[in-house]
Structure 1
Amino acid sequence: MRLSVRVLIVDDSAVFRKILEKGIQVDSCIEVVATAVDPFDARDKILEYEPDVVTCDIEMPKMNGIEFVRRLMPQYPIPVIVVSSISESVFDAMDAGAVGFVAKPNATSPDSVQRFILELINKIREASKAKILPCEAAKVKKNSSKLIKKHEVIGIGASTGGTEAIFSLLRQLPEGLPGIVIVQHIPPVFSKMFAERLDKQTHFKVKEADNGDLIEKNHVYLAPGDKHMQLRHTEKGYSLKVFSGEKVSGHCPSVDVLFESIANEVGDKAIGVILTGMGYDGAKGIAMMKRKGAITLGQDEKSCVVYGMPKAAFELNGITKQASLELMGSFMMRYLN
């Protein structure tokens, strides 16, 4: 039985490979078994060393990281963490099958490098417990929904594997839904890129949330990567409070912060959804939503990349119905209709 997570580092920079190798092995549970200079070298090292997790740059010689992940997954379904400069291309890597990403640090700032190493260690630990699921094209629902007016807000929370799960779920849903508010554990800057990507690739109007935003039908609001988001009932309808704060349930933004506000402000006129993710954030909040009469859905173990947050919510009796990601949209529509 392996006591440590075996990691393969793939990066064309010898200096950066050394920084990663030295940095992440500060954690006694992580062992760098090999490094590779490009995807072809990585393929040979995977066969030789059988790593549990691979870290991979995007811009590399001979083959970029996105194509490497796309080709790797069918033959060797190993969790891959993309380590790259800030760019929307990380989401292309997630589409291809990567389970997470970390932005490269400012090399001139020791504090930036230290924060990066700690974040990467956490991502490696999460990835080592992740399941690699087959990539399937989501079907876009083009029909308009005929909704009972009871439900006014949909809240969604996710972490590891959540960017693809959220994209898949939104693509299952029709137009005409109540406003959707989302907390996805994601670094700052990337949250805005993710919102813009969803805006382009779904029929919803998606934006990174701003303080004071009024929630509108067929709109999606994504919490910024470093701020909490709450919902408030006002004379004009539901509005958003976006603010900096300490971590709650280990995160900022926190799913619990959002869900507890929905429970208090919307009550039985809300639907809550908790998707794949490591840890327990959102479990208390969605249980509170259920106690207030909301319909609550949790992603099932088989379809989760990491069955952590939905499991914690289920064990707190916070889930009305568990469903696979593929069927989640259908169950949401069943309750909405």
Structure 2
Amino acid sequence: MSKIKVMLVDDSALIRNVFEQVLAGSAEVELISTAQDPYFAVEKLKRAVPDVLILDIEMPRMDGLTFLKKIMEQNPMPVIICSTLAEQGTDSYFKALELGAVEIITKPKLGSKLFIEESKVQIVDKIKAAAACRGHLRKRTEIKKPQTKLTADVIIGRQRQALSMTRTTEKLVVIGASTGGTEAIRAILTQLPQDSPGILIVLHMPEHFTKSYANRLNQECNITVREATNNETILRGTALVAPGNQHMLLKRSGARYFVELRGGPLVSRHRPSVDVLFRSAAQYGGKNIVGVILTGMGDDGARGMSELHDEGAVTIAQDEQSCAVFGMPNEAIKRNAVDKVLPLGSIAEQLLLETHN
């Protein structure tokens, strides 16, 4: 199996060095070249075209957005935006997604051994997901799966909840997505009316970006969209997005549904994890839940969707044709955990049908 070839364009020598250390020894990814700005990158692209380009936004001589626009017009390739953790300037990164970038990662930094290992896991996975977007899809069998992967057991136990709580028929929607998910979720939420059921969303997006993403959606949607806070009650007409770097769980007290935010290790190689949300929804919501799994690389959410299905929830997967990467939905389908496979444009309408009490 050939390695995924990567070029990094970033004006910081420190960042270039950290990337070299983080990706060193990877069996799946090879950093073939680095450049300090787009002009140097153009010269290197003449000699070797990478499978994936990692691009900073703020650089001398030519900014990343201008370079990205030129790439997508002249020689389209999968591009990952490399960001800082600062909230200021996040609009530029969302502009990059609109221009065709497929992922956002935060700039790695030197730290503890655990931090470096988590950074490596997350960055390599983002690179693999981006590479899978070339030509719309790449067969997942070409990309070797890692052997070590934690499940939702590390965050939530498997014990059955004694649901001696007040019974409720209130319907809730839980949605999980990864690569291509920013636009897929936007396409669904902008179609929903104000009185839609409460919605919980896990999207594989870095810390701070989830808040900006939710705020942008809130301006476009009839429903209220915001980043979730711990112990927040889930209300009709509201969608809550899991904060980057925190797992989000559905909990219930009597007839009141609320969210719990937790730290903890990566689950299914992600934090937040779709599996964590879906399992908690299976435990506390059962047949009152409609679960939706959208475009994304890997299998996060497939196991949790199976648990939702077993508890009588309605389960929906985005179809292959409308996915940027048909990984997560396909894994759920292969587990026989999906009731309906639908094109993206039909999911909002189906949600309203399934949640009409």
TM-score by length of 2: 0.79
Q: 1:125 aligns with which of 125, 128, 139?
A: 128
**Residue matched to 2:142:** none
* Distance in 1 separating the partners of 2:262 and 2:112: 28
Shift of 1:22: 5.1
**Residue matched to 1:48:** 47
Please tell me the residue identity of whatever aligns with 1:163: T
Shift of 1:41: 4.0
* Distance in 2 separating the partners of 1:84 and 1:310: 28
**Residue matched to 2:267:** 248
After superposition, the C-alpha distances for 1:269-328 in whole angstroms (9 at most, x for unaligned) are 221100112222211221222233322111122222222211110011111111222332
Q: Is it true that 1:159 corresponds to 2:158 in the alignment?
A: no
Q: 2:318 aligns with which of 290, 294, 299?
A: 299
* Distance in 1 separating the partners of 2:262 and 2:122: 22
Judge conservation of contact 2:178–2:295 (CA < 8 Å) in 1: yes
Q: Is it true that 1:65 corresponds to 2:64 in the alignment?
A: yes
* Distance in 2 separating the partners of 1:312 and 1:69: 32
Please tell me the residue identity of whatever aligns with 1:46: L
Judge conservation of contact 1:206–1:221 (CA < 8 Å) in 2: yes
**Residue matched to 1:76:** 75
Which structure carries more relative contact order (alpha carbon 8 Å, separation 6+)?
2
**Residue matched to 1:7:** 6
Q: 2:210 aligns with which of 180, 185, 191?
A: 191
After superposition, the C-alpha distances for 1:42-85 in whole angstroms (9 at most, x for unaligned) are 34533431210001000123432223323322442311111122
Judge conservation of contact 1:153–1:269 (CA < 8 Å) in 2: yes
* Distance in 2 separating the partners of 1:326 and 1:68: 31
**Residue matched to 2:152:** none
Closer, same or farther: CA 114–231 of 1 in aligned 2, 3 Å: closer
Judge conservation of contact 2:197–2:355 (CA < 8 Å) in 1: no
2:291 is paired with a residue of what secondary structure? strand
Unpaired runs of 5+ residues, structure 2, are 137-167
Shift of 1:251: 2.8
Shift of 1:181: 0.5
Alpha-carbon RMSD: 2.7
**Residue matched to 2:300:** 281
17-26 or 256-265, which moves further after superposition? 17-26
Judge conservation of contact 2:19–2:108 (CA < 8 Å) in 1: no
Judge conservation of contact 2:172–2:355 (CA < 8 Å) in 1: no
Judge conservation of contact 2:210–2:243 (CA < 8 Å) in 1: yes
2:66 is paired with a residue of what secondary structure? helix
Q: 1:219 aligns with which of 238, 243, 255?
A: 238
* Distance in 1 separating the partners of 2:266 and 2:17: 31
**Residue matched to 1:99:** 102
* Distance in 1 separating the partners of 2:214 and 2:172: 18
Judge conservation of contact 1:229–1:258 (CA < 8 Å) in 2: yes
Closer, same or farther: CA 121–282 of 1 in aligned 2, 3 Å: closer
1:251 is paired with a residue of what secondary structure? coil
Judge conservation of contact 1:79–1:132 (CA < 8 Å) in 2: no
Judge conservation of contact 2:11–2:37 (CA < 8 Å) in 1: yes
Closer, same or farther: CA 39–232 of 1 in aligned 2, 3 Å: same
Identity %: 39
After superposition, the C-alpha distances for 1:27-54 in whole angstroms (9 at most, x for unaligned) are 1433333333333443453343121000
Please tell me the residue identity of whatever aligns with 1:311: N
Judge conservation of contact 2:302–2:332 (CA < 8 Å) in 1: yes
2:96 is paired with a residue of what secondary structure? helix
* Distance in 2 separating the partners of 1:169 and 1:75: 31
Judge conservation of contact 2:248–2:272 (CA < 8 Å) in 1: yes
* Distance in 2 separating the partners of 1:202 and 1:164: 13
1:257 is paired with a residue of what secondary structure? helix
2:307 is paired with a residue of what secondary structure? helix
Judge conservation of contact 1:8–1:53 (CA < 8 Å) in 2: yes
